[in-house]
Amino acid sequence: MIFGDVPLDRAAGAILAHSVRLPEGRLRKGVVLGDAEVARLRDAGIDHVTVARLTSTDMDENEAATRIGSALLADGLELRPAFTGRANLHATQAGVFEVSRQRIDALNLCDPDITVATLPEWQRVAAGMMVATVKIIPYAADFAVFGPHLDAARGALRLHPPAIDRAELIVTKLTGAPTGVMAVLSRLDRLGVAHSVTEVAHEIGALSQVLAAGDAPLRLILTASATSDVRDVGPAALVAAGGRLTRFGMPVDPGNLLFLGDLKDARVIGLPGCARSPALNGADWVLERVICGVPVTSGDIAGMGVGGLLNEIPTRPQPRDRANR
């Protein structure tokens, strides 16, 4: 793209780079200067303007943004019409958002005139939420530069919709223990998961019987007392019911005391006490992925430590900055 100051008599057909105030109003930047616009500028006593002019390999900013956005488009996403060099991608349904950093980084590296910004990987999204934006900084981008990178960009974005439609929340009971479950149920509601709640005594035997008798593809355990060991009530009941414990503890705070396992064909998540709060915690990261059919392994959870220091929950019984054992 050719950019610079030119005499007004050479400006016709170019793109006005900067808005110009005229006696009868403003001539906005980005307008293609035709005879009428040149005449208005001349009548205002202006003899030079800053313009941009496309070369043979340049692509108009909106067309370039649309072309890049189209390459990033995936099932569950929609590309909205470009404006001022920007094209946005939005989710068409709820789910969790997966993004390939390597592919997005490569696209951003190919030409500094091109920028692609996305939500963080594994962000939960609702229908209509923006997940990515493509912005062309100047008035055009050189297709000869960015075009060869479009094929590699395909598949960089993916929306995983809910794959589980039903869950059972099993709550153990102790006198004087917290009882709230609405925050947990709200998490299921926003991903369209039907749910039931079962209350049971805070005992290994009682909990294992309820687990074994359930038929929901997702079973959540919210114990009256925090799980502090793999032999504690929650994990021990899972094993006693014939299940398998795959992970206890996660490097996300709040959320350290989560455990994960499976029982026959069902996934089982032992929720930490912080799940009683609507505030973001480590359980959200695991629960949302499991609901949306994204595999979550012990290694995946171990890799959540960087970025895992989340905002403190005000109602937390033992805040991390005043811990006394």
CATH code: domain of residue 15: 3.90.105.10
What digits encode the pLDDT tens for the residues 103-126?
999 999 999 999 999 999 999 999
Average pLDDT, the chain: 96
Provide the token pair at 4: 């610079």
Q: Which of 181, 74, 82, 197 is nearest to 125 (CA)?
A: 74
127 burial class (0-12, 13-18, 19+ CB within 10 angstroms)?
exposed
- Name the percent of the chain lying above pLDDT 90: 94
What digits encode the pLDDT tens for the residues 187-229?
999 999 999 999 999 999 999 999 999 999 999 999 999 999 9
pLDDT score recorded for residue 320: 65
pLDDT of 317 strictly over 70? no
pLDDT of 151 strictly over 90? yes
303/171 same-domain check: yes
Strand order in the sheet with 48-53: 2-7, 48-53, 15-16
16: in domain: yes
144/186 same-domain check: no
pLDDT score recorded for residue 325: 47
pLDDT-derived band of residue 279, with 50, 70 and 90 as boundaries? Answer: very high
Among 133, 160, 187, identify where a domain stops: 160
Average pLDDT for 174-189: 91
123/186 same-domain check: no
182/286 same-domain check: yes
Q: Which amino acid is at 65?
A: A
pLDDT score recorded for residue 180: 84
Alpha-carbon gap, residue 71 to 298, rounded angstroms: 33
319: in domain: no
Alpha-carbon dihedral sign for residues 88, 89, 93, 98: negative
Average pLDDT for 66-90: 98
**Is the full-model pTM beyond 0.85?**
yes
322: in domain: no
Q: Which of 267, 325, 265 is nearest to 295 (CA)?
A: 267
Quote the radius of gyration of the chain (alpha carbons, Å).
Answer: 28
pLDDT of 101 strictly over 80? yes
- For residue 142, what are the contacts with CB-CB under 8 A and spacing of at least 6? 1, 55, 57, 58, 59, 111, 113
195/289 same-domain check: yes
pLDDT-derived band of residue 182, with 50, 70 and 90 as boundaries? Answer: very high
6/91 same-domain check: no
Residue 109: which domain range?
58-160
The structural domain count of the chain equals 3
